[in-house]
C-alpha cells in the first residue's frame, strides 16, 4: 500500500513525466503527496560571498516556481518544501521525516545531459534512499 509519496523536482522539463507518473500513482492509491525542491548547497557555496544570499533567494524562488507547477499539475492539496543541502541526502531525509512509502524522481535533471542512464542525483537517491525509489525517464519526443 502506498500512503505517502515524495516527489523530488528540480523544475526542469525532464521531470515533467516523473511528476505526471507520481501524481497518477498517488491518486490511484489515495496517497498524500509531498513535493520537494532542494537548493544545491554547493551551488551557493561556490558563489562569491557577496552574492550568496541573493543567489540563495533566487534559487529558492526557482524552487517555489517548480513546486507551484507540481501543485497545478496535481489538482489537489499537496505539501511542498524547499530545502538546502545535498539533493540526494535531503530527499532521503525528507522521505524519512514524512514516513514516505515511495520517492519519485526523474532520471535526469537540469544537469542530466552529462550522464548516460541516470543523472547523478537520481543515481545517489536510488543507492542511498531508505525507501523504494521510482525513477521515471523522460520519453523522446516521438515516443509514447
Structural domain contains residue 144: no
pTM as predicted:
0.87
Tell whether 82 is covered by a domain.
Answer: yes
Residues 86, 92, 97: CA angle, nearest 5 degrees: 115
Mean pLDDT of all residues in the chain? 89
CA 54 to chain centre: 22
**76: pLDDT confidence band, cut at 50, 70 and 90?**
confident
pLDDT above 70: residue 23 = yes
- Between CA 65 and CA 131 the distance in angstroms is 27
| Helix (H), strand (E) at residue 46 | none
Non-local (6+) Cβ contacts of 144 within 8 A are none
Residue 142 lies in a domain: no
Residue with more model confidence, 106 or 14? 106
Number of domains in the chain: 1
Name which residue leads in pLDDT, 115 or 101: 101
CATH number, residue 79: 3.40.50.620
Tell me the residue range of the domain where 13 lies. 4-136
Residue 141 belongs to a domain: no
Residue 51 has pLDDT above 80, yes or no: yes
Strands annotated E in 41-119: 79-85, 102-106
In a domain, 20, yes or no: yes
Q: pLDDT at position 139, please?
A: 67
Q: Report the pLDDT value the prediction gives residue 49, as an integer from 0 to 100.
A: 92
Q: Which three cell numbers stand for residue 143?
A: 515516443
The pLDDT tens digits for 104-122 are: 999 865 544 444 445 788 9
* Domain-embedded: residue 130: yes
Strands 4-8 and 102-106: parallel
Amino acid at each position: 500500500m502506498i500512503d505517502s509519496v515524495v516527489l523530488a523536482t528540480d523544475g526542469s522539463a525532464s521531470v515533467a513525466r516523473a511528476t505526471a507518473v507520481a501524481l497518477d500513482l498517488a491518486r490511484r492509491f489515495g496517497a498524500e503527496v509531498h513535493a520537494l525542491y532542494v537548493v544545491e548547497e554547493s551551488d551557493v557555496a561556490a558563489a562569491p560571498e557577496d552574492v550568496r544570499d541573493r543567489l540563495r533567494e533566487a534559487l529558492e524562488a526557482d524552487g517555489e516556481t517548480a513546486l507551484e507547477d507540481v501543485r497545478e499539475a496535481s489538482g489537489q492539496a499537496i505539501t511542498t518544501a524547499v530545502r538546502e543541502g545535498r539533493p540526494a541526502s535531503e530527499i532521503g531525509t525528507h522521505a524519512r521525516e514524512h514516513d514516505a512509502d515511495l520517492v519519485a524522481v526523474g532520471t535526469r535533471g537540469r544537469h542530466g545531459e552529462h550522464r548516460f542512464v541516470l543523472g547523478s542525483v537520481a543515481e545517489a537517491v536510488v543507492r542511498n534512499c531508505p525507501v523504494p525509489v521510482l525513477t521515471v525517464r523522460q520519453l523522446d519526443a516521438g515516443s509514447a
